[in-house]
Structure 1
């Protein structure tokens, strides 16, 4: 494979590592888990009583609703109000139609400008306002592209072997807290959710890391127990498993990696990654509450509006 073609392929696969490579999964003959087959697209205006955690939005594997979670005081988060997903840049027309059925008012995109340039702008129906609030993931997908594109087993082992890939993920998660720009973007996203007059979807490229910490923060802020928000975070592993495996298979088939399992720590979400984010927030600000107010700049009235918006 020529150097230019190898680099282009590696970049495409890096984006696929961050977001599901659905065509590759289909070509490999893999099937989504059973939990992904049954749910119908939630259409609030037509089927207000039909609630499903996982949404069927063609072109995605990790689209879901954050409703139905119990809070400490016995209330429940609202369905059809806050959704999370991966990049919407390559969804087919049927995916756009499915999004239209959700009645979205805003789509909050946490991807960096370089990711948007490489992956493309979101494909959205008429109606929702696109909101760009980039959160830096320490250039993770460019790093993946470089490592995979090298096609050098020794270099790949040196970059990703042992605990090195997981360490890079923990560093990225701590950076969601230590970077002032990242805190500003996360705070702005939460204010947008609190002030929305209709359903909102939040996404990054994979819908698992930046989206994961934002949703974890939002749900904890409105009183959902940490054990529940952790389970919601980890659900990405089940939903993305087939697509992630297909990417690893493709990397090996293309001769780019002899040991594509080195990529697994970058593809997965792990409790240790989320703990790195939470621990950094408490270390820097003393408590989760102070992280919300002093770190993310959320005043008490915003937190009250967030609770009223998301909890029935």
Structure 2
């Protein structure tokens, strides 16, 4: 196999890490993840509502949570998701039923290069709104491409994986370009029609999409502990698919110790706390971040409440 084909195959595997599937071109013997685990998270005791799809594993309705005031975040208006480039035809029918008016793609160009453009129902085109991942995707790809366990341990071993993730979360707040992208999404949600929904996504639906959802829920008056549980739910939702990815990488001879990737695949309290510490250092509070960082005035914040809470 030529060096270029090896690079492309490795890139395809890396892009699949966050999606939770391994494309046939990379590891034909690895089955696609089942979506049957989705229903486990749709019990009557939890407002967490997954949208079961074949080509994505972390697609959720943000609604259903209770606020401090006793109201409920409305269903069917805001969705969070992972990559949408491998949706099947039945998936497109499911998405068409969500009445989406806008789809926002937080991925940077290298992610789209290997994972593909969004596959969406007719009439929908994703809005590119890249949020810098601090080079995490490229570093992960480079480490896997070496096929060298010593180099992989040097790059990701010990606390290095979690340190990389914390750097990503700090950059979500500290990079003005990232702040502008998040702000635009909040304005889109505030200004959306009650007859159409907004969906935002990144590659795995857990970090950039997770931060957006956490901040949105807090802005709507959802208790911190509830918003944090929603953020952490990606671990349970993605667990089986992520395990298959690690197994596949080992079987393919790309990694002797694929568990080095666990800190990159997971969300953790420490990651969210890193972002919140950066918020406090720069803006004093989450409310300060909403107003001074994202530039959301009282009128826009009120529109979010009116639009999404009832």
Question: Where do residues 264-279 of structure 1 align in structure 2 (5 Å cutoff)?
Answer: 264-279=262-277
Cα 1:238–1:209, aligned 2, differ >3 Å: closer, same or farther? same
The residue that corresponds to 2:309 in the other structure is 311
Instruction: Output one character per residue of 1:169-225: Cα deviation in whole Å (capped at 9) or x when no partner.
Output: 000000000000000000001100111112111101111110000111111011111
Cα pair distance change 1:17/1:27, threshold 3 Å: closer
Distance 1:171 1:117, change over 3 A: same
The answer as to whether partners of 2:214 and 2:228 remain within 8 angstroms in 1 is: yes
**1:108 aligned partner:** 104
**Could you tell me how far apart the structure 2 residues matched to 1:74 and 1:128 are?**
35
Equivalence for 1:246: 244
Query: Relative to structure 1, is the Cα distance of residues 283 and 26 closer, same or farther in structure 2, using a 3 angstrom cutoff?
Result: farther
Give the Cα–Cα distance (whole angstroms) in 2 for the partners of residues 259 and 160 of structure 1: 10
Measured in 2, the distance between the counterparts of 1:309 and 1:29 equals 37
Deviation per residue, 1:253-290 (Å, 9 max, x gap): 11111100001000011111111111111111111111
- What's the counterpart of residue 55 of structure 1? 51
CA, structure 1 residues 205+222, in 2 after alignment: closer, same or farther (shift >3 Å)?
same
SS in 2 for 1:84: strand
Report the counterpart of residue 256 of structure 1 in structure 2: 254
CA distance in 1, matches of 2:125, 2:7: 34
Secondary structure of the corresponding residue to residue 201 of structure 1: strand
**SS class of match (1:105):** strand
Q: Are 1:22 and 1:60, in contact at CA under 8 Å, matched by a contact in 2? A: no
Supply the distance in 1 between the matched residues of 2:52 and 2:29 (Cα, whole angstroms).
Answer: 16
2:173 match: 177
Kindly report which structure 2 residues correspond to 1:47-126, keeping only aligned pairs within 5 A, or say none. 53-126=49-122
CA separation in 1, counterparts of 2:115 and 2:287? Answer: 35
Deviation, 1:245, is 0.7
Write the distance in 2 (CA, Å) between the matches of 1:25 and 1:53: 31
> Is 1:86–1:204's contact at 8 Å kept on the other side of the alignment?
yes
8 Å Cα contact 1:86-1:203 kept in structure 2: yes
How far the C-alpha of 1:117 sits from its partner, in A, is 2.7
Distance 2:187 2:65 in 1: 21
What is the distance in 1 between the residues matched to 2:248 and 2:309? 43
Any unmatched runs of 5+ in structure 1?
A: 40-50
SS in 1 for 2:50: coil
- Give the alignment of 1:191-230 within 5 angstroms: 191-197=187-193, 198-230=196-228
CA deviation after TM superposition for structure 1 residue 127, in Å: 3.8
Instruction: Tell me, in whole angstroms, the C-alpha distance in 1 between the residues paired with 2:155 and 2:10.
Output: 15
Contact 2:54 2:88 in 1 (8 A): yes
Distance in structure 2 (CA, Å) of the matches to 1:25 and 1:272: 36
> Which residue of structure 2 lines up, in the alignment, with residue 36 of structure 1?
39
Contact 2:105–2:127 (CA<8 Å) still a contact in 1? yes
Moved more, 252-261 or 11-20: 11-20
Greater CA deviation, 6-15 or 73-82? 6-15
Alignment size in residue pairs = 302
SS of match in other structure, 2:210: helix
| Cα deviation code 1:74-118 (max 9, x no counterpart) | 111001111111111111111111100111111111111232233
The CA distance in 2 between the partners of 1:57 and 1:292, in whole Å, is 33
With the length of structure 1 as denominator, give the TM-score of the two structures.
0.91
Whether contact under 8 Å (1:25, 1:242) holds in the other structure is no
